Chains A and B, each alone.
Chain A
């Protein structure tokens, strides 16, 4: 039996900083004190276990659950969830939320004057399969304006929330679409200093995922980082 101590294995620069002046909402929310080391034990295996009953099979299809089909380009978003050692994360929860095809969220605080779609909520979830794969059916989200700076538009994106096998692997991020001209001027995307790391958030268009006469396919693989347990003689 071995015990483990948290050793940060993740190059910190790959994640965006808390304080990023280009993204104005960080100004009053980024902590000012030095962060303390992650308490020992949080890299140990033992994330939440979500029973099969928590997620319904149809929850992965955002085009279902309404009287009609949502407006927009129907797409499939699929990928593989792996931990920092490259192992598939099995039977774990993946949640997404997004704007509709017009760039409007079904949320009370979204004031963008674009139409809501009565057939689209923009919320999905699923458990990964035994190989760590997830799959969603949805519509391509629209870009939308925000107040960060003059004529600011968020690139089309899908919010992802994923769990790993330990606390430190928990990740909330955003998936973007290839070739989006808004990415180069989006401070949220640009907050990731390392270009290779940022590009990991851009899904890959994939003909093998694309279904003939039905939906375009995108692949978005996710690798969880965080500290990894380093075995020591116990």
Chain B
């Protein structure tokens, strides 16, 4: 009930509403989001585990030390996923550290048909949140050792091999440098600006 002299609140259920705008996650995004940074991903010792790692760099090629990266992907068939008893959310997070580096342990997703039934090469969709980003940035990670990349419709939509290469994580010759006999590692740096600026998608 409205107080006397005050207009009644508009009907919330039926009125068409503008979407709520985005704001930056700010410098302290890790405070609110770190709790999920290791949830739901595959264990490092799992035989199907891979590592995706790299740096987030700004327009001066300096490390972005306060980014939160979010990875959405399909799970690999047969992978045993941590927390699978609650069903894996398909979401993983990583925070960039003081050196701008992030590291994700996951499984390589399968190739899946897209909306027009065109096969999409294995990929992980990425959102990047940080101070200075008034909206998230969206990019996509493909894998250098996948033949399916040749026919992927999103990669095919990029004009040059150089642009396409910016969406492809390179299989490292060394296994994950963070551990001995670790999982296969793929390197994917995010350049927010510059000669090698990452290909970003949007709006939304």
The distance in angstroms between the C-alpha atoms of A224 and B20, with both chains bound, is 6
The distance in angstroms between the C-alpha atoms of A174 and B133, with both chains bound, is 13
Contact: B202 with A35, CB < 8 Å? yes
Nearest Cβ on chain B to A25's Cβ, whole angstroms: 3
Nearest Cβ on chain A to B166's Cβ, whole angstroms: 10
Tell me how many residue pairs across A and B have CB atoms closer than 8 Å: 223
- Which of these, A3, A16, A25, A39, contacts B154 with CB under 8 Å? A39
Contact: B59 with A49, CB < 8 Å? no
A181 within 8 A of B: no
Contact: B200 with A31, CB < 8 Å? yes
Nearest Cβ on chain B to A121's Cβ, whole angstroms: 8
B181 within 8 A of A: no
The distance in angstroms between the C-alpha atoms of A41 and B201, with both chains bound, is 13
The distance in angstroms between the C-alpha atoms of A36 and B64, with both chains bound, is 23
The distance in angstroms between the C-alpha atoms of A38 and B200, with both chains bound, is 9
List chain A residues, Cβ under 8 A from B30: 107
List chain B residues, Cβ under 8 A from A161: 25, 32-33
Contact: B72 with A80, CB < 8 Å? no
The distance in angstroms between the C-alpha atoms of A188 and B89, with both chains bound, is 31
The distance in angstroms between the C-alpha atoms of A122 and B30, with both chains bound, is 12
Contact: A30 with B20, CB < 8 Å? no
Contact: A16 with B18, CB < 8 Å? no
Contacting chain A: which of B43-51, B123-131, B170-178?
Answer: B123-131
List chain B residues, Cβ under 8 A from A80: 12
Contact: A109 with B28, CB < 8 Å? yes
The distance in angstroms between the C-alpha atoms of A221 and B15, with both chains bound, is 13
The residues in A between 205 and 234 inclusive whose CB is less than 8 angstroms from any CB of B are 207, 221-227
Q: Number of residues in B with C-beta < 8 Å to the partner? A: 70
Contact: B115 with A196, CB < 8 Å? no
B19 within 8 A of A: yes
* Per-position binary interface string of chain B over residues 39-61, scored 1 when its CB falls under 8 Å from any chain A CB and 0 otherwise: 10000000000000000001110
The distance in angstroms between the C-alpha atoms of A117 and B29, with both chains bound, is 19
Contact: A29 with B64, CB < 8 Å? yes
The distance in angstroms between the C-alpha atoms of A226 and B135, with both chains bound, is 12
Task: Identify the closest chain A residue to B167 (Cβ).
Answer: A36
- Which of these, A40, A86, A170, contacts B127 with CB under 8 Å? A170
List chain A residues, Cβ under 8 A from B66: 109
- Which of these, B72, B89, B125, B201, contacts A37 with CB under 8 Å? B201
Task: Identify the closest chain A residue to B92 (Cβ).
Answer: A48
The distance in angstroms between the C-alpha atoms of A154 and B31, with both chains bound, is 18
The residues in A between 1 and 48 inclusive whose CB is less than 8 angstroms from any CB of B are 3-5, 8, 10, 12, 14-18, 20, 23, 25-33, 35-42, 44, 46, 48
- Which of these, B12, B19, B134, B138, contacts A20 with CB under 8 Å? B134
Contact: B114 with A41, CB < 8 Å? yes
A-B contact pairs, 16 of them (CB 8 A): A15-B134, A29-B133, A31-B193, A35-B200, A39-B140, A82-B17, A96-B32, A105-B31, A123-B35, A159-B29, A172-B136, A173-B21, A188-B134, A197-B19, A201-B23, A225-B19
Known: A14-B19, A33-B200, A41-B120. 12 other contacts (CB 8 A): A10-B203, A15-B21, A18-B133, A32-B59, A54-B86, A54-B89, A86-B16, A96-B32, A191-B134, A223-B17, A225-B19, A226-B204
